[in-house]
């Protein structure tokens, strides 16, 4: 499978990990999910991230899921390899690259503070990963680490295997602007910037020079629609699509309960057989489900209106 | 002026502090702003909070602004009195209550950790504030303090002057449900719950039993429309209004840049004379302004559609 | 090997992981280190903790080190199994218990906030670990999680496999007093409390009812001397010994550089062949080494004085 | 009174704020305390810091205490002016400089993250303070802000009114070495570095080029003895003195309970009339007092031995 490069574009969907009602990995749903994401226009998949419930998997399960997804998918697969130490990170990265992953993704440990500490950490990551291309995940809300644009520039300049930024700083629009200015002036390489944060700022992020999305909202149609229409020079159409999905996307972006909501919708759409999360995990209450159902009904109505 | 009670309902707008282009307090704009919020249907005002740039004001300016707003307003005024210590908090609280404030608002210091530490802090707050009614501000994203529902229940049970929760935990829908269950079962007083977080979850929060909003989105029409329609039993109309404003509300909810955006729109609407923030403060870039203008144009169009 | 129980007493030394100059695990030094700790009076060993550089080891290395230490040691061995998720924690715990570990040790993830969140996490830990006895590591300075005494009581009451507290809150003397009062009144089981924090408060901790130490200061003689003399009713002798070692213990307690200092001294004492840490790791500067050498010389002189 | 400069040396004692048993400011004790610190060899005083219980004072009390101490003292007085915003900081700074303070001290707000954010904050501080010389307080353990040496260098280079670093990073020996290397090479001004952290690393800090201490240990004799002997080229005598006081200094360095311990000893020494802290504050238990008394007795004995 081709390796991830700075030219990556489009929508890399953050995949869930489907479980049966009793918490076993549900392999049939894994296959169905891969097919679903491809049918909806995903250009890549990202697995074993936080929202793939990676920390709840045994090492063996992680490897098996990676193997299954990679062998099924016709599109590139990025694998989350964030780990408490560099040695286990390398172990997992090497094993998934061997079976055909396109690249890996790394978030910083919560203890990093100064610019130099952050840079040094990712320099070490680059060292231990060897030739494997990797994605820098910049998500201060959950990592506790704020990475200044100049630190990202320095990493990009010094470490050629860093080919993509998963951008989910908040607010982050000026960050994209600053990073693109650096590469436009030739001060750094231009790497791929795919945006997370549940897609909540996707149209504006595309307007600042992002290359697409890397997030897991339960309607990948939204991300695909926004990215494609921006690429085609139709920002208004992109916003129309975005606005129709925004109420649900906002609801799904709640920390904790959001993943339960995502799985609920994916199950309802027939993609996965069960909405089950492995424990420990919050469950949707009846009131939560009523909220989601209302949002789904309103969304469907609005989508029809804007299709007309 | 009547004191704040557990029965408070509706929309308490978080007021900005208007400055001239050179950073002086702009008294004419203060008056105009008070009138504007009242005309748009606000049932109360909250001043000298974080988004009122309170930390950038001298003690004298703070007192003068409180005096001006309270004497102008026909609706109750809540004053933020969060301070590094209890003695200065009491000083400010006493001085604003004397000139007619309806109550005060307190956020916890970032160093609190355990349930008992949080409870003990607010117990001390209740002690030093005497008979002054106060609002507990629960905003973990900026305070670093997560307050469990049972801790809020305990505070409410023990401290009769705590009459309102400014709810902005995220996610927080189940928190409202839990708190309302406690008072429904008679285990605690039922206090007022007004919701912040830029209004981003307002319809769902109303559905869980909130009494209204306390937030500063630049179109108070949104909060008023959602709250009134929920109160009248028209949730769908509430959602229609909410959805029309959501793209801009989401944009304004960005940390840091959000307040600049809010002042930009209020200035454009003629409420305040200048969008200036006191330093240190981020400024809107041309790209930010273009984003806001696009969102305003789309919002206007959508409002017309749903008005039809 | 017998399992860890609430009756554990004495000194469980936090073992380093010896590496060769080139960063390979140095098996001969592993053996020598086990013998050394036993000769100096350790009643137990704790391996694969943060200061055993566990995150820098591959899964295979971790298992091999556990196997080597357990098969060599005549005293009980506790193994650190803190992991980002419950599934990998169980995997490691099961594998080391199978080869004869006495129990395992678990620290909380940095994201826990409220009392109930902390309790729920350790309840899950108890569930997945089955019958394996475990140590609760309470070290707020590095975990970011502050655990109130009542939360520890609740865990101890509900989860019978929690048999020991590795106490390193700071300040923590009143915490020990509170916990012992609970068990003295029969409100909870009395579990073993062994103290960390580099031993910096060991005499006072013994005075409050601790059962010993679990820490890695490079002179286990200090911990053994303090604990034994307190047990024998000679607190003054305990303090004499403690005071003689305190200047170095304080120096070794520096975050980051402390472990390098510990390995330097253990190498100098002939216990391990090389003072090497695996990267990323800080190295001692010439000035650091001069500091340590001065402290060693003064300590030796003082020990002679108090021996006389 | 002369202004604080880069040449400041010796021991600036962090003064407590004496209260009566009922919590009123005890003016007679304020005077006696000033005299005491001068008699024991202090070369300066620092008031209204965290350990002076500044946040518990009203604005009026703060000004009165500053006035009283400054008018009584024959040595320079530095005043803590850390505040939630720049406007109140300037107000307090201007008012104390007017009545004769030598300079002011500023700690960063807990929300700062990146190098540039930290630099920008202190650049703003320099702006609003005008010509007032100020001390940068670098105490990550309580401020939550880690400041890299290069950021301090940049502040020193750009802001001439920053004349002193209150160094209490931990570990921080290599930080002093790095900062001194910068000024030795002529890359920055050489500013005064006085060390905090309860004096726990004072001899080693002097060895790295610190100019003295700024901390509040209840026996200023220790800091004076260590600093003077290092200055005279007697490091071994400095260590003898340090080691004699270290067991108590370590005990007093506990967060929270430490200040109660300090006031207990100062009251016992007859410096202040009451050991009372303003609420909210932890109180010493009988067991804590027994610990302190034991440490005092042992310290007295040891001081006699080394005097002989």
Q: Which chain B residues touch D90 with a CB distance below 8 Å? A: 58
In tens, the pLDDT along C198-232 reads 999 999 999 999 999 999 999 999 999 999 999 99
- The DSSP string of B28-56 is HHHHHHHHHHHHTT-SEEEESSGGGTGGG
Of C207, C242, C255, the CB nearest to D170: C255
CB of B14 within 8 A of CB of B22? no
Distances in whole angstroms, Cα of residue C214 to Cα of each of C60, C105, C164: 26, 11, 11
Name chain D's partners: 3 or more CB pairs within 8 A: A, B, C
DSSP state of B215: E
Q: Which chain D residues touch B279 with a CB distance below 8 Å? A: 86, 124
Of B170, B208, B243, the CB nearest to A247: B243
d(CA D239, CA B208): 65
- Residue B189, SS3 per DSSP: coil
Determine the straight-line distance between the first and last CA of chain A, rounded to whole angstroms: 40
Backbone angles phi, psi at B168, to 5 degrees: -145, 40
- The DSSP string of chain A is -PPP-TT--EEEEE----B-TTS-B-HHHHHHHHHHHHHTT-SEEEESSGGGTGGGS-HHHHHHHHHHHHHH-SS-EEEE---SSHHHHHHHHHHHHHTT-SEEEE---TT--SHHHHHHHHHHHHHHHTT--EEEEE-HHHH-----HHHHHHHHHH-TTEEEEEE--SS-HHHHHHHHHHHHTTSS---EEEE-GGGTTHHHHHHTT--EEEE--S-HHHHHHHHHHHHTT-HHHHHHHHHHHHHHHHHHTSTTHHHHHHHHHHHHTTSSS----PSS-----HHHHHHHHHHHHHHHHHHHHHH-
In tens, the pLDDT along B115-171 reads 999 999 999 999 999 999 999 999 999 999 999 999 999 999 999 999 999 999 987
* Closest-CA distance of chain D to residue C70, Å: 34
- Using a 10 angstrom Cβ sphere, with 0-12 exposed, 13-18 middle and 19 or more buried, the burial of residue C207 is buried
Mutate to test the interface with D, among C250, C282, C283, C289 (most CBs of D within 10 A): C250
- What does the block give as tokens for C11? 């000194």
Please, what is the average pLDDT of chain A?
A: 96
Q: Partners of D13 in the beta sheet?
A: D45, D215
The answer, yes or no, to whether residue D90 has pLDDT greater than 90, is yes
Of C170, C256, C294, the CB nearest to D171: C256
Of C174, C204, C255, the CB nearest to D171: C255
- The pLDDT > 70 percentage for chain D reads 100
Average the pLDDT over D115-121 and give the result: 97
Q: What is the pLDDT of residue D171?
A: 79
- Using a 10 angstrom Cβ sphere, with 0-12 exposed, 13-18 middle and 19 or more buried, the burial of residue C186 is exposed
Name chain A's partners: 3 or more CB pairs within 8 A: B, C, D
Mutate to test the interface with C, among B115, B145, B169 (most CBs of C within 10 A): B115
The answer, yes or no, to whether residue B173 has pLDDT greater than 70, is yes
In tens, the pLDDT along A258-270 reads 999 999 999 999 9
Strand C212-215 and strand C192-195: pairing? parallel
Is B280 in contact with D88 (Cβ distance < 8 A)?
no
* Closest-CA distance of chain A to residue D197, Å: 20
d(CA B75, CA B95): 19
Closest alpha carbon to D13 in D2, D39, D26, B232: D39
- What beta strand segments (E) does C48-147 contain? 77-80, 103-106, 134-138
CB of D249 within 8 A of CB of D217? yes
- What does the block give as tokens for A24? 């076993």
d(CA C121, CA C117): 6
In tens, the pLDDT along B54-94 reads 999 998 999 999 999 999 999 999 999 999 899 999 999 99
Confidence band (pLDDT; 50, 70, 90) for C43? very high
Q: What is the pLDDT of residue C171?
A: 79
The answer, yes or no, to whether residue D1 has pLDDT greater than 80, is no
- Residue D18, SS3 per DSSP: coil
CB of C215 within 8 A of CB of C195? yes
Run of H or E including B162: strand B162-167
CB of B11 within 8 A of CB of B43? yes
Name chain B's partners: 3 or more CB pairs within 8 A: A, C, D
Average the pLDDT over C287-303 and give the result: 98
Q: What is the pLDDT of residue A50?
A: 85
In tens, the pLDDT along A209-253 reads 999 999 999 999 999 999 999 999 999 999 999 999 999 999 999
In tens, the pLDDT along D8-17 reads 999 999 999 9
Compute the residue count for chain D: 308
Q: What is the pLDDT of residue C84?
A: 87
Average the pLDDT over D236-245 and give the result: 98
CB of B206 within 8 A of CB of B194? no
The answer, yes or no, to whether residue A207 has pLDDT greater than 70, is yes
In tens, the pLDDT along D248-293 reads 999 999 988 999 999 999 999 999 999 999 988 889 999 999 999 9
Is B150 in contact with C113 (Cβ distance < 8 A)?
no
Is C174 in contact with D200 (Cβ distance < 8 A)?
no
- What does the block give as tokens for C88? 């990998």
* Closest-CA distance of chain A to residue C84, Å: 6
Count the Cβ atoms, other than its own, within 10 Å of residue C236.
12
The answer, yes or no, to whether residue A1 has pLDDT greater than 80, is no
pTM: 0.96
Q: Partners of A77 in the beta sheet?
A: A45
CB of C127 within 8 A of CB of C163? no
Mutate to test the interface with A, among C56, C87, C109 (most CBs of A within 10 A): C87
Interface of B with A (CB under 8 A): 170-171, 173-174, 177, 200-201, 204, 207-208, 235, 239, 242-243, 246-247, 250-251, 254-258, 285, 287-288, 291, 294, 298, 302
Confidence band (pLDDT; 50, 70, 90) for C166? very high
Q: What is the pLDDT of residue C255?
A: 86
Strand C192-195 and strand C162-167: pairing? parallel
Count the Cβ atoms, other than its own, within 10 Å of residue D58.
14
Count the Cβ atoms, other than its own, within 10 Å of residue C190.
16
Closest alpha carbon to D169 in D199, D193, D147, D189: D147
CB of A84 within 8 A of CB of A45? no
- Residue B14, SS3 per DSSP: strand
Mutate to test the interface with A, among D114, D145, D150, D152 (most CBs of A within 10 A): D114
Distance of CA A238 to the CA centre of its chain: 20
- What does the block give as tokens for B136? 């507990």
**ipTM for this model:** 0.97
Of C58, C86, C88, the CB nearest to A91: C58
d(CA C40, CA B286): 70
Q: What's the fold here for domain D10-232? A: TIM Barrel (3.20.20)
Confidence band (pLDDT; 50, 70, 90) for B255? confident
Is C121 in contact with A280 (Cβ distance < 8 A)?
yes
d(CA C83, CA A96): 20
Is B61 in contact with D279 (Cβ distance < 8 A)?
no
CB contacts < 8 A (A, B): 77
* Closest-CA distance of chain D to residue C39, Å: 28
Confidence band (pLDDT; 50, 70, 90) for B1? low
Of A170, A177, A246, the CB nearest to B254: A170
* Closest-CA distance of chain D to residue B60, Å: 10
Q: Which chain A residues touch D146 with a CB distance below 8 Å? A: 113-114, 117
**CA dihedral defined by B99, B100, B103, B106, rounded to 10 degrees?**
-20
Compute the residue count for chain C: 308
Q: Which chain B residues touch D278 with a CB distance below 8 Å? A: 87
Is C124 in contact with A91 (Cβ distance < 8 A)?
no
In tens, the pLDDT along A152-168 reads 999 999 999 999 999 99
Q: What is the pLDDT of residue A280?
A: 84
Count the Cβ atoms, other than its own, within 10 Å of residue B252.
26
Of D171, D204, D246, the CB nearest to C246: D246
Q: What angle do CA C70, C76, C78 make, to 5 degrees?
A: 80
Run of H or E including C176: helix C173-184
Computed on alpha carbons and rounded to an integer, the radius of gyration of chain B in Å comes to 19
* Closest-CA distance of chain B to residue C115, Å: 6
Closest alpha carbon to C105 in C62, C50, C38, C187: C50
* Closest-CA distance of chain A to residue B109, Å: 19
Token pair 């679990």 in the structure block, residue: C214
Distance of CA C258 to the CA centre of its chain: 14
Q: Which chain C residues touch A54 with a CB distance below 8 Å? A: 85
Q: What angle do CA D239, D275, D56 make, to 5 degrees?
A: 100
**CA dihedral defined by D219, D221, D223, D226, rounded to 10 degrees?**
-140
Mutate to test the interface with C, among A25, A84, A118 (most CBs of C within 10 A): A84
Of D171, D207, D250, the CB nearest to C200: D250
The answer, yes or no, to whether residue C308 has pLDDT greater than 80, is no
Where residue C232 falls (left for φ over 0; alpha for ψ -120 to 50; beta otherwise) is: alpha
d(CA D105, CA D96): 12
Interface of C with D (CB under 8 A): 170-171, 173-174, 177, 200-201, 204, 207-208, 235, 239, 242-243, 246-247, 250-251, 254-258, 285, 287-288, 291, 294, 298, 302
Q: Partners of D192 in the beta sheet?
A: D164
- What beta strand segments (E) does C15-81 contain? 44-47, 77-80
Please, what is the average pLDDT of chain C?
A: 96
Q: What is the pLDDT of residue D92?
A: 93
CB of D288 within 8 A of CB of C173? yes
Chain B residue with minimal CA distance to A245?
B243
Q: Which long-range contacts (CB under 8 A, 24 or more apart) does A228-236 make?
A: A228/A41, A230/A203, A230/A206, A231/A9, A231/A206, A235/A203, A235/A206, A235/A207, A235/B294
- Residue C70, SS3 per DSSP: helix
Instruction: Count CA atoms closer than 13 A to C19's CA, side-chain side.
Output: 18
Please, what is the average pLDDT of chain D?
A: 96
């Amino acid at each position: 499978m081709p390796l991830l490069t700075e030219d990556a574009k489009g929508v890399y969907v953050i995949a869930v990990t489907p479980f049966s009602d009793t918490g076993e990995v549900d392999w049939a749903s894994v296959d169905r999910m891969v097919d679903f994401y491809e049918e909806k226009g995903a250009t890549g998949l990202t697995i074993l991230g936080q929202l793939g419930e990676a920390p709840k998997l045994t090492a063996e399960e992680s490897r098996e899921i990676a193997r299954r997804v990679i062998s099924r998918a016709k599109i590139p697969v990025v694998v989350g390899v964030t780990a408490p130490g560099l040695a286990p990170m390398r172990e997992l990265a090497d094993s998934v690259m061997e079976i055909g992953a396109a690249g890996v993704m790394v978030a910083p440990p919560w203890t990093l503070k100064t610019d130099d500490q952050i840079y040094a950490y990712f320099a070490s990551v680059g060292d231990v990963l060897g030739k494997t291309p990797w994605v820098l995940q910049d998500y201060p809300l959950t990592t506790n680490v704020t990475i200044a644009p100049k630190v990202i520039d320095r990493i990009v300049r010094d470490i050629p295997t860093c080919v993509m930024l998963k951008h989910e700083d908040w607010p982050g629009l000026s960050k994209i602007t600053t990073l693109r200015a650096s590469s436009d002036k030739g001060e750094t390489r231009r790497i791929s910037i795919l945006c997370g944060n549940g897609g909540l700022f996707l149209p504006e992020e595309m307007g600042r020079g992002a290359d697409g999305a890397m997030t897991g909202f339960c309607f990948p149609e939204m991300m695909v629609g926004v990215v494609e229409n921006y690429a085609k020079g139709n920002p208004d159409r992109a916003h129309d699509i975005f606005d129709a999905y925004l109420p649900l996307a906002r609801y799904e972006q709640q920390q904790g309960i959001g993943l339960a909501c995502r799985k609920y919708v994916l199950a309802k759409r027939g993609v996965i057989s069960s909405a089950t999360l492995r424990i420990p995990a919050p469950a949707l209450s009846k009131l939560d489900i009523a909220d989601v159902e209302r949002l789904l009904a309103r969304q469907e109505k609005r989508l029809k209106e804007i299709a007309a």
